[in-house]
Chains A and B, each alone.
Chain A
């Protein structure tokens, strides 16, 4: 029995929120696995030469307790083989990606180039430099608030739409620089950042940086990675302010304001933006979303211990519980609001795309390059969230279908009660589907009525 080529043992997971220590193993596809000390010992002793009995003997000695060959076989078959790190005839079943994860994606900057740039920007994380930039931003903000009129700059921009393209371009550059900040923080801590790419997260167009390797860092270094992005937004804003000091170009002031909005948005902890990873690393719990169900169950069971949370330290449990009791209602409200607004959003987006298409074609035929470029940006801005919404809804449908294919009897029981029916729980799925359809029909009729009124 041997490990799959490329499997790497990385030692303890530092700053772990579990009461019992965990260890990290990197799989050949660069994904990280978190395993118990006993499993780590088993993995460390699978050399492809020793028999299971010999492995069991060595594991028992290191563990300080007898471990039989049967126990080692059980651990390999039930714990390690499903994770795909032990060489077997059949590979592991690929896990379905979680719903709230980034899925539509494409690489933009290859890992080698990311590391090259990150190496050259590591010095920005030297503590005196960090303090200097934070103070500089405070100075810039005070200067802008005291001496400059932001709304005046915006109006100036509106009179010259070509300058809007400059703000859009600067914001895109700021987004890429933000990701480079994560990468540079990762290199500063001693990990290898991966690709920087673009994708759609839920409904939003995003840039992302693959920081899987930073799991190996200390909690402090992981937090530096989490904050590295917004810190680079700070650096970017200070550089823009310096450029404004030299040129006096109004788009730069608007771009600085946008950087502040970006920073504020990044601290939202309810979806996988930087704020989420900050909470996750403070708790030492890598997957907060996996803890939602047990936490809610624990809260509803009035203090009875829930196994999935009992393994956490009191500090981690407090952070996770606080995150869950704020995140669940927030995501619930947002989901309902989104559902209610879908027809109106689609109608507005369609109107917008139609009018933008006309404007852009007219600009193109008239040789108006700036107008055409702005039209194309608007079309992209309108189309991407719609594409994200469609992908999200399709994924929900596919996941639901997969789940019911895996448990067909559960679906059959839910939809067709055969004997001694208890209507309330068994009709739950039908009730939910009917409610969703009713809400959609109601809101779409309201949206149609509003549009008719608008046309009159």
Chain B
């Protein structure tokens, strides 16, 4: 084995990180889409639902 001990810079650059949680998601706000049509059915039903998110 040859060479010298690791320098402090070499020790500091050793990476060690906690990986982010790998949680694969599916948004179900698209559920609001069929509810859009309720607007034509009754004036009392609010149609914003989550669809304003698409506007955002």
Q: Which residues of A contact B (CB under 8 A)?
A: 18, 22, 27, 31-36, 38-39, 60-61, 64-68, 70-71, 74-75, 78-80, 83, 95, 98, 101-102, 154-155, 157-158, 161, 164, 167-168, 171-172, 175, 178-179, 182, 199, 201, 203-212, 214-215, 225-226, 229, 254, 258, 261-262, 265-266, 272-274, 277, 286-287, 289, 311, 334, 337-338, 341, 345, 348-349, 351-353, 355-356, 358-359, 374, 377-378, 381-382, 384-385
Contact = CB atoms under 8 A, between A and B. Distances in A.
Interface residues of B, number: 46
Interface string B14-56: 1111111111111111111111011011101110111011011
Nearest to A105: B23
Given A101-B20, A161-B38, A206-B26, A66 B11 contact: no
Contacts of A287: 17, 19-20
A205 B29 contact: yes
A272 B24 CA distance: 8
A22 B25 contact: no
Contacts of A60: 1
13 contacts: A31-B21, A39-B14, A67-B5, A101-B21, A154-B34, A157-B37, A161-B41, A201-B25, A204-B27, A206-B28, A262-B30, A266-B27, A286-B19
B42 A359 contact: yes
A208 B24 contact: yes
A75 B12 CA distance: 8
Contacts of B34: 154, 157, 164, 167-168, 171, 254, 258
Q: Is the interface of A mostly helix, strand, loop or mixed?
A: helix
A381 B32 contact: yes
A13 to B, nearest CB: 9
A254 to B, nearest CB: 6
A356 B50 CA distance: 15
Contacts of B22: 32, 210-212, 214-215, 277, 286
A226 B38 CA distance: 35
A102 B24 CA distance: 10
Contacts of A262: 26-27, 30
Given A67-B5, A68-B5, A71-B6, A34 B17 contact: yes
B23 A31 contact: no
Contact of A345 (B12, B27, B52): B52
A450 to B, nearest CB: 14
A175 B28 CA distance: 7
B16 A33 contact: yes
Contacts of B2: 65
Given A83-B16, A157-B37, A355-B44, A207 B26 contact: yes
Contact of A377 (B23, B29, B35, B42): B35
Nearest to A164: B34
Contacts of A38: 6, 14
Given A34-B17, A381-B35, A225 B29 contact: no
A172 B31 contact: yes
B42 to A, nearest CB: 7
A83 B18 contact: yes
Contact of B3 (A65, A206, A210, A374): A65
Give me the 4 closest cross-chain CB pairs, A-B, nearest first: A352-B46, A158-B37, A79-B16, A206-B25
A356 B1 CA distance: 77
B1 A36 contact: no
B15 A311 contact: yes
A83 B38 CA distance: 52
